[in-house]
């Protein structure tokens, strides 16, 4: 026990929070972020199950284990380690062996592990049947069980099933708790259903279920990703007013929210509050501050923060270098971006696909087609296949320069290759053809989206509006704007500016301004006119 406590202290103190988010949240009984200590036998079993995919071979080998509590604990610890690495298939193999073939008596942790693994593999039916097996085995389901089941449904987009979990809990005398609500909010936010996640947050409070630091951090992250840092800050203030103490993840989420809006001074304020709270900044905190300077257009300020984190003994990771690449690229300093990229190679840090994409973006801003094409060729020589982001960047570059033939070649390669076009791909095409005055081609691409199971977003609609706005076709712009609203897509500041640019008279400007102000009032969206 003394060794375990020392081991726990060593990890928490020396890693500076680098394990946060990797541990158990639901159904474990283990401390979040703490790696279990594995015996030599357990390590051997772990290596075997990680490399062996044949179910019969795994089960035959496990059959040789003596049915003692020691080996049972070893198996649980192995599955915890597998979970930390998000290796769901080996977890399923071991859990199913325990349940179907071994003489070990399964407990709720084993069932919870299996529900979790099936949920992460998007196999909600198996997760559901495992829950029913748990009840049949007269094993008492915990709030963790329901949290994991609910999260499995959310991952699969089955919100009606998720709601049914609450009824199931009440049926078994388990009141919905913070753990369950947190799992619900987490599942919805990861399923990109931010609106519903925020609704559940409000419901949680209405039902007098006290939010935790984790709850508030998730909500701050949701608003941050939607570029609504002002709302994230409101949640941060509410958290403090309720005497809920922010943790390092909360401060980082708040800094990231300001970073996405390029508000580096606000991010700095949170950075100072974090330190005043006695917390030591880790690489995630520094990266958030780097991002804030990058998005605000201060690459040299970002470089100072990068130097500071090194002086403070915090080692930059790949994300840190990518942020610096982006900082120089956004500012049009392609030489700085190239220097960062070269430094990664010099230090033995393998540039990621994102690193290459950011370097391409830096040269793309200059219109340097030759250099961009060289980087794509380097990708192929390195054995990497350009992803959708890289191809979209090249698509945008060719379109911007009016090289439509090359643009069409990239599109054809995407349609026939492993990197399928996404909504951003078609947004680029709609914007390019609209700016060039090829309205029929623009409309053809827009109408094709439904056949590709893609839903137009605010960028799609705004780009389409831009094609007509450039020609001062005010009435057509108003028609498209109304179409956009009817489809459930609401405008942003960019939409407002494009709509205003279509106006040719003071009366039209007044009419558009009135419409936008009405939308602002109804949707509570901020439109910077």
Token pair in block for residue 123:
């196999």
pLDDT computed for residue 490 by the predictor? 80
CB 232 within 8 A of CB 242: no
- The mean pLDDT value for 91-119 works out to 86
- Residue 15: pLDDT over 60: no
The percent of residues above 90 in pLDDT, for the chain, comes to: 39
Looking at residue 34, what is its pLDDT? 55
User: pLDDT digit string (tens) for 296-316?
Assistant: 999 999 999 999 999 999 999
If pLDDT is split at 50, 70 and 90, which confidence band does 165 have?
confident
Kindly report the number of other CB atoms within 10 A of residue 493's CB atom: 14
pLDDT in tens, 379-431: 888 777 888 888 999 999 999 999 999 999 999 989 888 888 999 999 999 99
Q: ∠ CA 236-32-166 to the nearest 5 degrees?
A: 70
pLDDT of the residue at 520: 54
Q: Which long-range contacts (CB under 8 A, 24 or more apart) does 60-65 make?
A: 62/94, 62/97, 62/101, 62/102, 63/101, 63/102, 65/102
Checking 404-411 for CB contacts under 8 A at 24+ apart, the result is 404/432, 404/436, 407/432
Higher-pLDDT residue of 291, 85: 291
Token pair, residue 283, equals: 């690489």
pLDDT above 90 (res 352): no
Cα separation, 291 vs 299, whole angstroms = 10
Helices and strands (DSSP H and E) totals, the chain: 29, 0
Q: Which two tokens mark 463?
A: 């780009």
Tens-place pLDDT, residues 19-52: 344 334 443 444 344 566 788 888 888 888 888 8
Nearest to 262 by CA among 326, 355, 354: 326
d(CA 459, CA 489) in angstroms, rounded, equals 10
Residue 504: predicted pLDDT = 84
- Say what the pLDDT of residue 14 is: 36
Give the mean pLDDT of 200-204.
Answer: 90
pLDDT at 236: 95
The single residue listed with the structure tokens 């090829």 is 438
Q: In terms of Cα–Cα distance, which of 486, 490, 480, 485 is closest to 525?
A: 490
The b/e string for 7-42 (b: 16+ C-beta within 10 A; e otherwise) is: eeeeeeeeebbbebeebbbbbbebeebbbbebeeeb
DSSP structural state of residue 351: -
Q: Supply the pTM of this predicted model.
A: 0.72
Looking at the predicted structure, is the pLDDT value of residue 503 above 70? yes
Q: What is the mean pLDDT of residues 92-99?
A: 87
Q: Which residues of 151-181 are buried (b: 16+ CB within 10 A; e: fewer)?
A: bbbbbbebbebbeebbebbeeeebebbbbbb
DSSP 397-464: HHHHTT-HHHHHHHHHHHHHSSS---HHHHHHHHHHHHHHT-HHHHHHHHHHGGGGT----HHHHHHH
On the CB side of 36, CA atoms within 13 Å amount to 23
The pLDDT of residue 441 is 94
| pLDDT number for residue 229 | 92
Q: What is the pLDDT of residues 360-393, one digit of tens each?
A: 989 988 889 999 999 988 888 877 788 888 899 9
Average pLDDT over residues 271-291: 93
User: How many Cβ atoms sit within 10 Å of the Cβ of residue 395?
Assistant: 26
The yes-or-no verdict on residue 495 having pLDDT over 80 is: yes
- For residues 61 and 284, the model is more confident at 284
The predicted structure's pLDDT at residue 160: 80
Q: For the chain, what is the mean pLDDT?
A: 84
Alpha helices in 101-193 (DSSP H): 108-120, 124-136, 143-155, 159-171, 178-190
The CA-based angle 445-449-455, given to 5 degrees, is: 135
């Amino acid at each position: 026990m003394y060794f375990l406590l020392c081991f726990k202290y060593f990890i928490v103190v020396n890693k500076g929070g680098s394990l946060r988010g990797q541990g158990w949240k639901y159904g474990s009984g283990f401390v979040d972020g703490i790696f279990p200590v594995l015996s030599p036998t357990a390590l051997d079993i772990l290596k075997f199950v990680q490399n062996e995919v044949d179910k019969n071979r795994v089960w035959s080998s496990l059959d040789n284990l003596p049915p003692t509590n020691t080996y049972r604990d070893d198996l649980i610890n192995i599955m915890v380690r597998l979970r930390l690495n998000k290796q769901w298939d080996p977890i399923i193999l071991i859990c199913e062996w325990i349940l179907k073939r071994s003489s070990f008596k399964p407990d709720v942790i084993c069932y919870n592990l299996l529900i979790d693994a099936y949920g992460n593999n998007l196999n909600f039916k198996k997760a559901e049947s495992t829950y029913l097996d748990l009840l049949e085995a007269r094993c008492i389901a915990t709030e963790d069980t329901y949290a994991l089941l609910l999260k499995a449904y959310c991952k699969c987009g089955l919100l009606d099933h998720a709601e049914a979990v609450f009824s199931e809990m009440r049926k078994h005398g388990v009141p919905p708790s913070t753990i369950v609500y947190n799992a619900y909010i987490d599942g919805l936010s990861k399923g990109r259903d931010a609106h519903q996640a925020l609704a559940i947050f409000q419901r949680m409070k209405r039902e007098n279920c006290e939010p935790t630091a984790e709850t508030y951090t998730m909500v701050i992250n949701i608003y941050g990703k939607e570029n609504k840092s002002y709302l994230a800050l409101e949640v941060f203030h509410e958290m403090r007013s309720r005497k809920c103490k922010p943790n390092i993840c909360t401060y980082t989420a708040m800094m990231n929210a300001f970073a996405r809006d390029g508000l580096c001074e606000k991010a700095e304020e949170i950075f100072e509050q974090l330190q005043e709270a006695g917390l030591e900044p880790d690489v995630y905190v520094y990266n958030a501050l780097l991002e804030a300077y990058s998005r605000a257009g201060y690459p040299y300020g970002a470089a100072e923060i990068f130097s500071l984190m090194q002086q403070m003994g915090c080692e930059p990771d790949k994300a840190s270098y990518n942020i610096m690449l982006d900082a120089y690229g956004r500012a049009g300093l392609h030489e700085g971006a190239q220097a960062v990229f070269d430094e990664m190679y010099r230090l033995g840090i393998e540039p990621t696909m994102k690193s290459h994409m950011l370097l391409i973006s830096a040269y793309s801003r200059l219109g340097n087609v030759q250099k961009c094409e060289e980087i794509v060729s380097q990708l192929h020589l390195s054995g990497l296949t350009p992803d959708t982001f890289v191809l979209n960047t090249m698509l945008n570059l060719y379109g911007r320069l009016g090289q439509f033939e090359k643009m069409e070649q990239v599109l054809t390669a995407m349609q026939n290759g492993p990197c399928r076009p996404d909504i951003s791909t078609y947004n680029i095409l709609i914007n390019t053809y609209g700016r060039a005055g090829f309205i029929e081609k623009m409309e053809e691409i827009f109408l094709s989206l439904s056949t590709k199971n893609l839903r137009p977003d605010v960028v799609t609609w705004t780009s389409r509006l831009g094609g007509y706005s450039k020609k001062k076709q005010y009435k057509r712009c108003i028609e498209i704007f109304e179409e956009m609203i009817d489809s459930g897509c609401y405008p942003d500041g960019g939409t407002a500016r494009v709509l205003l640019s279509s106006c040719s008279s003071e009366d039209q400007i007044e009419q558009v301004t009135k419409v936008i102000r009405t939308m602002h009032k109804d949707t509570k969206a901020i439109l910077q006119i």
